[in-house]
Amino acid sequence: MGEFEPVTLGIAILGAVTGITGIGLSIWAMYRELDRDRVKLKVIPNIAIPVGDGYFPHTMTIEVTNLSAFPVSIAQVGVLFRDSEETGFCLETRTVDGGPVHRRMDPRTSMSVMFPAEFIRDRKFGRVRCALVTTACGERVEGTSGALEQMVREARQA
């Protein structure tokens, strides 16, 4: 074994690792570019708890946050039922800020949509699988939480 063989081997290993790392970084950059053009919404159903003495007819909210790098137009906010593609949307929903449910959401903005107590007291609510948001371009984003699971369990027991 010559005196330069370990040095040559070390340079060869360094070159291989650098080449693999370069390929890995290229793949990562391509993934990030494709991911940036994807609709990303966070959908979280919550229980609304009344505070104060006022009348509070809403008992469920669905929080929608636009995590996309571009504006997204929201078409509907509702629920998806188990064992089917059937959806449930309440016509009496409203948002916490008083704006329309159908809106254009800028990046990193959110809204909370409130549902009346009758919506979750309906017997059919016991079949709910998840919250659902559809966009104007036809994307569907689902979300669930422990709060939604609790409301569904209570609807099944009623």
pLDDT at 7: 64
Which residues, 6 or more positions from 110, have their beta carbon under 8 angstroms from its beta carbon? 42, 63, 64, 65, 66
pLDDT of 107 > 80? The answer is yes
Let me know whether 126 and 87 are in one domain.
yes
Burial of 61 (0-12, 13-18, 19+ CB in 10 A): buried
Tell me the CATH number at 93: 2.60.40
Which residues, 6 or more positions from 124, have their beta carbon under 8 angstroms from its beta carbon? 81, 88
Let me know whether 2 and 66 are in one domain.
no
pLDDT of 48 > 80? The answer is yes
Name the pLDDT band for 145 (thresholds 50, 70, 90): very high
Let me know whether 100 and 81 are in one domain.
yes
Let me know whether 27 and 63 are in one domain.
no
Let me know whether 27 and 48 are in one domain.
no
Let me know whether 55 and 117 are in one domain.
yes
> Average per-residue pLDDT in the chain?
84
pLDDT of 13 > 80? The answer is no
Range of the domain at 32: 1-37
